[in-house]
Structure formats: structure tokens, C-alpha cells
Structure 1
């Protein structure tokens, strides 16, 4: 792993400075280096980590990627049968013994990543040490990470967003903070007491921290940057974050587990967001971006197709789960099938092709409808889908979870005016009593359509 040689350097140069904090547990650079070294004898050729956040997790993670060893980080909340199944599929390669905390050959695999697929068992892909070293150099440049930054990523380290933030900080020599489990009050306490300067969060978490921080008068003026990923920022979240952390630059980026970073944008303190827009910045440092059709041909600017990249950050491919529609290589360009277009150099994301709604011959992506509805005042969450229609083939329907009080169809239509082309507006609206989810905790358009079809009380039609 490309942070171990750096960890050795920081332990020598700044032995008593804080390296990592998990809840109330704190390790200096020297302590982390010593503890990880002591765990080397327990690390296998491939270590399976499926446990909550702790300093022990970080020590084991560092030891697990020493030399040419590799690590698979699994969600500890998965059913035990799934953890056992994934673990049994990961083979133990033959590797040389290692007795020191050092990086291995840059071309070798250090991480087995897991990503959800169409089957019950997640797909497994691999990453080389070199791919993350290139990613670190690009993200440190783009986000402006400095050694005096104190980064808080309060989510689980089993999530790639947080695992990467930890690794990036170890590489850069900047202190990393997290929680044993996410709690808004604990996150606010860390921000106040540890002098956090940088947040790494998903948009839903940012909204919680910002809105409750404003209500509780939690001072976030010392935060210099907020990094968001996982979904597009909506206007309500940005407005709350702006008021709560007025001095922070807000970054949002698009990437995929298999591709790493693709594009991103930086909103300086006070800079407005395009509400309901699909744009998510320009190509990341070191990334070539193009929009290709299914045959690998470049499409004209403004036309949509497969978002495709060439970069040194792309993963090495799959151990299992490749259905031919996941990571594909089109004449040297890599894509995971996300659809989008480029306008004036800015990438706009539309979503997966399989999610596209064809209504009266018009292509509508649920993602763009959801982004627009999510910017309407009073909407907490929006889900759009294509329902069967005898005349149109499909019709666009949308369910909304109100942020507070009640919401009407008239409010929603009025709010969409100017945000979304009229021929993409939903023909029916439903108020949701809860977010439709899969059994793995992801928002599901199919579940919402089932509710609508079966007249489930969790989806009530709006007049």
C-alpha cells in the first residue's frame, strides 16, 4: 500500500503528533507505526476485515497491506452468511514473507473491493498499489489537503469514501478522525473539541450535521473544506451547509469504485450551486474524459452516452461478478455504464442506462427528475420511475418524502418550473411515508413501483 513508506516517514519526523483518532482513542504517528508493526505476524496473505471503526481496525488495515499482502474490507452489518460466502471466494495467493511495515511492488494488488451487483453476492474487484498512489496525488492536489488539516470522516471505514479518506491522510501526513459509530452529537463534539478543518461526508450526513448544527449553535467556522460524494448535492443541503460552515469550500465529485475519481467541482465559500442541475464538474487531475456510444465511438458534445475515462486510477478488474455490463473497456476507455454528456467541458450525469424511462419516444433519466424535485422546498427525498402506460409505453411517476408538513402536487409542479424540461415532468405524484429501500439498504425505484401497483398505503397519490 502506498502509505506505509509515508507512515514510516511521519513516525520519524513527527512521532508525537496525532495520526488517528477514533472516538476517544488517539494514536500518534509513532504509536500507530509501532502498533501496526506488532500486528504483522497476525496478517495473512489476504486479510478479511469486517468490523466496526476502531484504532485496532486501522492498525490491522495497515499491517494487512504490508509488502505484497492484500486486504478485503467488508461491511460488518452484512448477514454473516454473506460475509462467509465472500470470504470463502477470496483466494490466498503465494507471497513473500514481510517483517517490516513497508510498501510492496506498486504493480501488485493491495485491496479487494466489494461493490453491489445484480446478484445477492457483491462483485469483487482489485486495486493495485500504484492506482491508489496516483489517486492520492490527484486528490491531494484537487482538494488542497495540507498536513495541518484535521479530517473528520464520521462514517464507517468499511465504506470506500471513508477508507480512502483514512488512507489519503496517512499518505499526506494529516491527522484523521472518525467515530466508533455515526452519531450527530459525537460528530459535533469532535468538530468543536478537536479543531476539525475538513469534513468527508455523504450529502445526507452533511444535511444532518448542518441542520442540527445550526439548531444547536455548533460552531463550524473553523472548517475549511467539505468533501461530498455518493450523490449530487441538493440546494437545501448546500444552503444549510453554507450557513453552518460559512468559511468552507465545498467539493463534490463523481467517481465509481472501479474507476476511482472521474470529475469534480469546487464551490468557494458563498458560491451558489446550480439547483436541480446535473453538472458535476470537470475531469479530475490526470483523467481523460469522453462520452462514447455502445460501440466505443465518441459522440458529439452535448449528446449523451457512456461516461468513459482513461487514467492510471482505474481498477484492475474483477475477481468475480463480472456480468459483461459492469466495468467495460471500449478501445482503451473504461466505463461502468453510467450515462451522461459534456457541455462546455462540464460533465453532466444522467444515471444508468438500465434506469432510463422511454415515454412517448422521449428518453428521461430518473436521476435528473430526482435532482430537480429534491431542490423543491419542502421535499426531503424524491424517487422517480417509469410506470407501464398503454399509450406512452411508460409514464414518469414520482414519490416524495416531505421534509416537513404536507406537500401538494401543485407545489411540486410550480417548483419544477425552470428546473426541468416540461416533457420530463412526472404525470403522477405520490407522497411517501418512508423511503422505498431494498433489503440491502439502497433506495429502490422498483419497490416504489410495487407500492403504487399494489395500492400500498406507503405511497398515497397526490391530486
Structure 2
């Protein structure tokens, strides 16, 4: 049962209370239940949902997972050709698995707004879109119920909270937040699209107590909120996913929302929640470190090498998980490396180590720099640089070197006032071991990003070797 039985419960217990709000438009629990129930009879066995954030989205998603139905949620900003390719791939996969009749319906489908069997898949998840078809995996209803129970306990979500997730519901972070609130009986807010002014208005006027978002959004909201005098004192928790918060973002968020516990966590779409920590109001953070926190409730962690053998405490290797939240595996796109299993322990290839029960996350093995026999993870270098005053953002990479194999280079986007190479060198001395420190520093006019907004270390190297004016060497 993911959340439909709970939706029925809240509709019966408090029908007129608000369930979902999208830019001031609201649906009560009874209205949401009825809107979803009306759509169930026409919902196919496997549906594809691709649309902007709306009240209709919430009802359509609920209907799309009723009974034994399965639903795939696509990003509506993906090219139409890519969406069509995914839709056809899904249809073909399920045609081979179980022939259907009519408009994609099977005789086993019910017309009731009820949850299907706990161990049956209900969600077809997709990795982030690229120019090729992304990988697709499935999740069971039970796995999401276990995830809900763990995240509600870890984040302290209550029915009195008002959660605002301003990003697209097509993203797993926000889709999960919607379903989590429906399960917990907690009010969920979103916007048709992310807009700083609209988020500030919601925080000021809608009694938002909880934010779910990515670090770049948090920095924008915090810095502009401080400049504009937007009162965020009513926010009690901020849940941030995507990457560890840098010093500038964390400082701005602490000042803008002084009463909020700021949660950072590590997870993956295929693994769900893994480990995290909450920084309480007034608590001093440890800047520049790689520690992400302790395991979520119900999660066991191990660090295993490439053959599945345990490594000594403090040594790095594959971050492996055993929990009831892990996905079923892939419908397509599995190359044998994306989700590996070592005797019941699952990993997506992220590297890290355990120290005193805390998980330290280093990054993907494919990003690793090998310099003079030392393994260096760019993520570790970037976190250290992000804690240096005068740095707005940082990126590190390995540049080919005849003597060392690769040498560590780093580039920063300076904040107001700028920063020198000497300041950067001094800033990482107490954080990074000598053989992990960058040998060259560059100042950037902008971050090297792909056309989909993802950080590209290869693009940084191209700028450096091509003497691109966007990357200026710091003496």
C-alpha cells in the first residue's frame, strides 16, 4: 500500500481539510479522493503521466496507481521524441510481459480507488533524461510504505506541517514528497513552475513549515529572501537532496530560516533513503567534510570492495545497502553496473567510507582522479573549497600529467570580493591531505554545465586545455 488507503482515511476523517495546494488553488481530502476515483475506471493497466504541476496531476497520479496499475511519470520538458520513445518502450515491455485487452486494460483491474498488493510494482521510475532513452526501474507498493515510515520518522513530518516542494513533480524528490504527505495526512504545496518570488509569497502567506528542494533552489531563496526581508521564521525543517550543502548556501539558509532544522541526506532512486543528518538551529556545522550522516531507520550499511568483500573501517569502497526500500531492478537499461547486488547488499556504485557509524560520501568511482598512485575524489576537493571564504562554487577534475598520470586541478566561481590562489591553498590545508590538494587553480566566469544543467568536469578540462576565457588561471 503506497498511500491510497491513507487518502481514503483522511477523506473520511477530515473531508474539508486541505490536501493539496497549487499556486493558491486547493483540493480538500474528499475532493482529491473523488477526483481521483472518477479517473480510475478509464485508467489503463500501465499509464504514462507527463504534465506540469497541477491539481490534476495529483488526482491523475493517484488514479494511475490504483489497484494493480502502474504509472510512469515523465518530465514534460524532455523532447517529444524522447517521450514518445519511452512511451513506446514501456508499451512494448508490457505487451511482451502480459497481453492486454481494450485500451491497455486487463480483466484483473478494479475500478475502485484502492491500493494493490503490497509486493506488486506500481511505479516505473526513470533516470534523468539525456539524448538517449533513460534507464527504467520499478518500485513495489511495500517499498514505498517502508520508505514513508522511515522518512516520516527521520524528518519528523506531522499532519500539522505544510510542505512546499517548488520543483517539478516529475522529479522523484518532489513526487515522493507529494505521496509522503498524502500518506501522512499532511498538507502539500507546489507551484506550476519554480519562481523565487512565488516561493517567497507562499512562505510568507501560506504558513509553510517545511521545504523540500535542491541546493541551488535553497541558495536562491535564502540569499534573495535575506535581501528582500522575506520572513521565513515559520519554517521548521528544510530537506535538501542532490548534493551536500556548501558553506555559502548553508550560512544563508541558517540566517534566512533561523528556526529550521536543515536536513541533508544521501539516497538514490534505486535505493531510496540511505543516510542523512539534521543540523539543528544554532548547531555549528562541520564545513568541508564529506560526512553525510547515519543510516535511516531500517537501513543497514556496509562498505564493500569490487568483489563484494568488506573493507576495514575507514577504508573507501562501494556504499552498499540492505533495506526494504530498494527497488525491484530495471525494466531496461541495466548494464550490470548501475545497480549491483553482493549477496543481498545493493549499490549504485557510489564510493564512500564509514567512520564511527557516519557515512562519508566521496562520489562515483568513474569520477575518481588517480594522481601519483593516490585516489582522489573530486567531490571531496569541491567540498573543501566551498568552505573557503570568497568561493561561491567549486569544481575539481584530473588533468593528464606525464609524471603523475593525472594532477588535481580546481576551478572556482568567486563570490563578491574575489579570491586568490594563495587563499585557496591556505583554505584547504587543514581539510585535505597534501596529496589531494589541487596543484593549479582557475577562476571561472560560470560553472561548466551540460545543456541539461549538470556539472561537467570534462567541460572544465576542455576549457583549461583550450585556453577558454571562461577559465582564467590564478597565479
Q: Mark the runs of 5 or more structure 1 residues left unpaired by the alignment.
A: none
Q: Deviations over 1:355-411 (max 9, x none)?
A: 110001111000000111111122221111101001110000112112224332122
**Alpha-carbon contact 2:303-2:320 (below 8 Å) kept:** yes
Give ranges in structure 2 of 5+ residues lacking alignment.
101-105
Contact 2:159 2:184 in 1 (8 A): yes
* Residues 26-65 of structure 1 mapped to structure 2, 5 A cutoff: 26-65=26-65
Q: Show the counterpart of 2:333.
A: 321
1:354-393, aligned counterparts within 5 Å? 354-393=366-405
- Which of 243, 246, 252 is the matching residue for 2:255? 243
42-51 or 97-106, which moves further after superposition?
42-51
Q: Aligned with 2:442: secondary structure?
A: strand
| 1:407 alignment partner in structure 2 | 419
Equivalent position SS for 2:292: coil
CA contact (8 A) 2:78 2:129 kept: no
Aligned to 2:13: 13
Matches within 5 A, 1:276-315: 276-315=288-327
Q: How does 1:16-165 map to 2 (within 5 A)?
A: 16-91=16-91, 92=94, 93=98, 94=100, 95=106, 96-116=108-128, 120-165=132-177
Partners of 2:332 and 2:60 in 1: how far apart? 25
1:221 is aligned to: 233
Aligned equivalent of 2:432: 420
CA RMSD of aligned residues (A): 1.3
- The answer to whether the aligner puts 1:172 opposite 2:166 as a matched pair is no
Query: For the residues of structure 2 that align with 1:122 and 1:453, how far apart are their CA atoms?
Result: 31
**Is it true that 1:269 corresponds to 2:281 in the alignment?**
yes
| 8 A contact 1:275–1:419 mirrored in 2 | no
- State how far apart, in whole Å, the 1-side matches of 2:302 and 2:289 are: 20
Counterpart-to-counterpart distance in 1, 2:453 and 2:218: 19
TM-score, normalised by the number of residues in structure 1: 0.98
Alpha-carbon separation, structure 2, partners of 1:8 and 1:305 = 45
Over residues 312-354 of structure 1, what are the superposed CA-to-partner deviations in whole Å (9 max), with x where a residue is unaligned? Answer: 0000000111111110001110001100000000000000111
CA drift of 1:251 comes to: 1.1
Superimposed CA distance per residue, residues 142-177 of structure 1 (whole angstroms, 9 cap, x where no aligned partner): 111100000011111111111100000000000000
Q: 1:24: Cα distance to partner?
A: 2.1
1:206 is aligned to 2:213: no
Distance 1:171 1:194, change over 3 A: same
- Kept in 2, the 8 Å contact 1:386–1:395? The answer is yes
Aligned-pair CA distance for 1:119: 7.5
Residue equivalent to 1:350? 362
Instruction: Please give the secondary structure, in 1, of the residue aligned with 2:250.
Output: helix
Q: Deviating runs (4+, > 3 A) in structure 1?
A: 92-95, 116-119
SS of 1:21's equivalent in the other structure is strand
Question: For residue 103 of structure 2, what is the aligned residue in structure 1?
Answer: none
CA distance in 2, matches of 1:196, 1:118: 34
SS in 2 for 1:9: helix
The match for 1:335 is 347
Query: How far off its partner does 1:117 sit?
Result: 8.3
TM-score, length-scaled by structure 2: 0.95
